[in-house]
Structure 1
Amino acid sequence: MIRIAPALAAAILVSAPAFAAPEAFVLDPGHSQIVFSYNHLGYSTGYGMFGGIEGQVQFDEADPAASSVEVSFPVKSMLTGWQARFDHFMSADFFDAADDEMVSFKSTGIEVTGEKTAKITGDLTLNGVTKSVVLDAVQNQYGEHPMEKKMWTGFSATTTLLRSDYGLGSFAPFISDEVALEISIEAGKVE
């Protein structure tokens, strides 16, 4: 049976046959993160991470393509490992982020590509700009969580964004316009 739990914050219900219905899973923010990387002047690769990810997956085990995901997280949850870099990213050169500014993703379609893989298409809103992106997703595990004693899922995904698509292209091409994203999430079934 194909099992895909796409993840990336309010529930969105997808119609399904009467014999099957999507079930709600809530992201575990303590075990969900997005790591990003970019080339810095050809000398090094810069890394950062976003945390504080909240959201919900509507998972249809019988028909994974009928599943959906909606998530969001604060821009200022970014971790860079160096305060001066964080301050620069939050400046007018890049995000010029307000304290409550959010990044959000809402799926618009899921194409199942294998037993545990899918392409998740959705609308990513970043820096006030919304663009369609495709995530290459893999379900890592699905089953009862040994400590939570309820159904749980874990999933990974990757994609590449162009900073300039979101009005964040300062210093390109010296600092690469392409930013690689690695997403890892866990989500527990709502009971």
Structure 2
Amino acid sequence: MLKKTLAAFALGGALLSAGQAMAADYVIDKEGQHAFVNFKISHLGYSWLYGTFKDFDGSFSFDAANPEASKVSVTLNTASVDSNHAERDKHLRSDDFLNVDKHPTATFESTAVKSTGEGTADITGNLTLNGVTKPVVIAAEFIGEGSDPWGGYRAGFAGSTTLKLKDFGITKDLGPASETVELILSVEGIRK
């Protein structure tokens, strides 16, 4: 449903002020599994269904002195969707939803970052999901930054956005309570 875009979205949060005085480039910590692109959608209006995308890559850059110049790029493997139910995941990969055979990746590329307060920003970008590209806005929050125990430097962000499924060509009728999906992003980057 959601797509990695989400992941990219969270990265956009990196654009927020982080206390560094210079621009820096980061790669999302996929190997250490310190980044998540999760989603939640209503199941018939009775409960929440949660899931994640297990395979994505991305990078971001930010300059605390000029957060509006920050950039985020994320690519997500749509077949990596996992809702903790094999038959449902198979259906999510079908042409009713993610259509992974035709569209094996989803992407997010930021186009603008606007500070919205101390440690928060709106990251606008183009999300391509199910072969459809639309602008989306991710509400991002700076979590923290600093040196890690292995001699590296990290920065972390959280973000969220809500997508209308029909905007991305997903027209399967799941009822009125399930017309939107929320992407919940948590991203930790390692400075290059």
- Conservation of the 8 A alpha-carbon contact between 1:32 and 1:51: no
Larger Rg: 1
Separation of aligned partners in 1, 2:105 and 2:96: 18
Corresponding residue of 1:94:
97
Corresponding residue of 2:173:
171
Corresponding residue of 2:74:
71
Separation of aligned partners in 2, 1:117 and 1:77: 29
Separation of aligned partners in 1, 2:69 and 2:22: 9
Q: How much does 1:159 deviate?
A: 0.7
Identity over aligned pairs, percent = 36
Q: How much does 1:143 deviate?
A: 1.3
Separation of aligned partners in 2, 1:174 and 1:88: 19
Higher relative contact order (CA 8 A, sep 6+): 2
Spell out the pairing of 1:1-191 with structure 2 (5 A cutoff).
7=11, 22-29=23-30, 30-98=33-101, 101-145=104-148, 147-174=149-176, 176-190=178-192
Separation of aligned partners in 2, 1:59 and 1:153: 10
Runs of 4+ in 1 over 4 A off after TM superposition: none
TM-score, L = length of structure 2? 0.84
Corresponding residue of 2:3:
none
Separation of aligned partners in 2, 1:21 and 1:141: 16
Q: Which runs of 5+ in 1 are unaligned?
A: 1-5, 9-19
Separation of aligned partners in 1, 2:41 and 2:103: 25
Give the root-mean-square deviation of aligned CA atoms: 1.9
- 1 or 2, which has the higher helix percentage? 2
Separation of aligned partners in 2, 1:22 and 1:103: 27
- The amino acid across from 2:27 in the alignment is V
